[in-house]
Amino acid sequence: MKAAISSTLASLFCLFAAIDLVAAETLMNEPGWERSRAMQSIDREAARATLKPLYELARAGDNAKLLDALSAITLDAGIEAPMQDYLVYRFTLGLSDMDANAVNATVIGFLANYPARTLVAHDDRPGMGVPLFNVRAAAHGISSSWDRQMGAAVAESLVGESPDRFITSYLQATPAGRRGFIDTLEFASSEQLEKLGASALPRITEHPELTLVAAQVAINSGNLELLQTTVTLGGGPDMARVLKTASLNLNTAEAAELLEYTLQLDSASKAALAIAQLAPSRLDDTAVREMMFNTLSDRELGAAAALVLGVSDDPAIKTRLSEIAQGHDGLKAQRAALAISTAEMAGRTER
C-alpha cells in the first residue's frame, strides 16, 4: 500500500510539474477567446458521450482508430474550438488512470504536439494568451509519469538481482525513468543498498549522474561515511538535491558533521550548497552557528554564510553580527554588514 501511494503521488507530481513547465512556454500569442465565453461553449454531457469510445479504444490498444478519432475531433468544423480542446485535454488526463504506455508513442506524440485552439488572457499578463486547456503539458506529464512508473518497475526487478545491471539500466533511463529508480530505493533492504552503493561509487567520477543514486543509498541506509564520500567524488546538477535530501533526513549532529566535512573540501561550489541546504534550519546548534560565524571571513564562502545568518530571527545572532560589523576585521565586518542588510531586506519584503 505504501508503495502504491508513493507511486501515485509521484505520478501526480510529475504531471503537474510538467504542466507548469510547458505552460511557461506558451506565453507568446495574443488571447483569442474570453475565458467565460469559452467555458460556456463546452457541453460536458456531450463530452462524456464522446470520450467514452475514445477510452474504450485506448484500453483495447487500437491506436490507429484512436488516432483517427482524435484527429476527427480537431477537424470537425461543427465543434467549437474550446470544445475541441476540452475533449482532447480530458482524454489526455484520463490516460493517468490507465496502465503505463496504454497508448503508443504515435498517440502520445499527437497529444504532445497538439496546437491549442483556445487561447485566453494570462492572469498576470492580459496581453498574452495561454491555452485554456493545455493538452501539450498534460501529455508531457503523462509521458513523464509513465516513464517514472516503468523505471520503478525495472528497478524493482533489478535491485535484488544485479546491482551492476541496476546501475547500467539507471544510466540508460530517461530523466523521469531515473526518478523511478530512485523511488525504488526507499523499499530496498540494507543488504541491497550496501551492494548498490559498492557498485555505484567507483563509477561516479566517470558518471556524475550516479551521485544521486549513491547519496540516496547512503541516506536510506544511514551510512554517513558513504554520503561524505559521495559528496567528495560526485558532482553535477543533482548535488543541490542530494544536500537538500540529506538535510531533511539527517539529525542535527549528522548534518553538522556533513557540513563541517564539506567545508573542508577543495570545492567552493559544494561548500556553498552545503551551507545553503544544511545550515539555515540548524543555527540553534552551537556547532553549526559557530561554523557560519567562522566562515564569514572566508573570501569564497563568507557571503553564503552571511546570507544564512542574515535571515535568522535569533536576537543573539543579530547582536553578534552588529558587533562584528562595527569591528576592525575588514572582510568579516563587511560580511556581517551584508548579513544585517539581508535581514533588513527580508523584513521589508515580508511587509
The pLDDT of residue 345 is 65
Q: Does residue 109 form part of some domain?
A: yes
- pLDDT confidence band for 346 (50 / 70 / 90): low
Last residue of a domain, one of 81, 98, 133: 133
Q: What is the pLDDT of residues 232-262, one digit of tens each?
A: 999 999 999 999 999 999 999 999 999 999 9
Q: Is residue 311 in some structural domain?
A: yes
How many structural domains are present in the chain? 2
Residue-wise pLDDT for 295-331, tens only, equals 999 999 999 999 999 999 999 999 999 999 998 778 9
Q: Name beta bridge partners: 120.
A: 130
- The CB-side HSE value for 63 (13 A sphere, CA atoms) comes to 11
pLDDT tens-digit series, residues 57-85: 999 999 999 999 999 999 999 999 999 99
d(CA 262, CA 296): 16
**Cα(345)–Cα(335) distance, integer angstroms:** 15
Is residue 213 situated within a structural domain? no
Is residue 63 in some structural domain? yes
Residue 40 included in any domain: yes
Residue that finishes a domain, picked among 73, 108, 133:
133
Domain boundary among 76, 111, 133: 133
User: Cβ contacts of residue 236 below 8 Å, gap of 6+?
Assistant: 208, 209, 211
- Alpha carbons 315 and 323: distance in angstroms, whole number: 12
Q: Which three cell numbers stand for residue 277?
A: 541546504
> Rounded to the nearest 5 degrees, what angle is found at the Cα of 336, between the Cα atoms of 334 and 341?
95
Residues 6+ positions from 242 with CB-CB distance below 8 Å: 211, 212, 215, 230, 231, 234
- This prediction's pTM: 0.77
Residue 316: what pLDDT? 95
Q: Is residue 217 part of a domain?
A: no
**Residues facing 129 on adjacent strands:** 29, 121
Q: How confident is the model over 23-33, as pLDDT tens digits?
A: 444 445 788 89
* DSSP label of 25: T
| 73 is a domain residue | yes
Least confident of 2-16, 59-73, 215-229: 2-16
Domain span at residue 62 reads: 28-133
Residue 127: band (very low, low, confident or very high) from pLDDT cuts 50, 70, 90:
confident
**Phi then psi dihedrals of residue 107, to 5 deg:** -65, -45
| Sign of the dihedral through C-alpha 91, 92, 98, 101 | positive
The predicted structure's pLDDT at residue 330:
85
Asked whether residue 338 is assigned to any structural domain, the reply reads yes
Among positive and negative, which fits the CA dihedral 128, 132, 138, 140? negative
Give the per-residue pLDDT at 25.
Answer: 43
Task: Please provide residue 100's backbone torsions phi and psi, each rounded to the nearest 5 degrees.
Answer: -55, 140
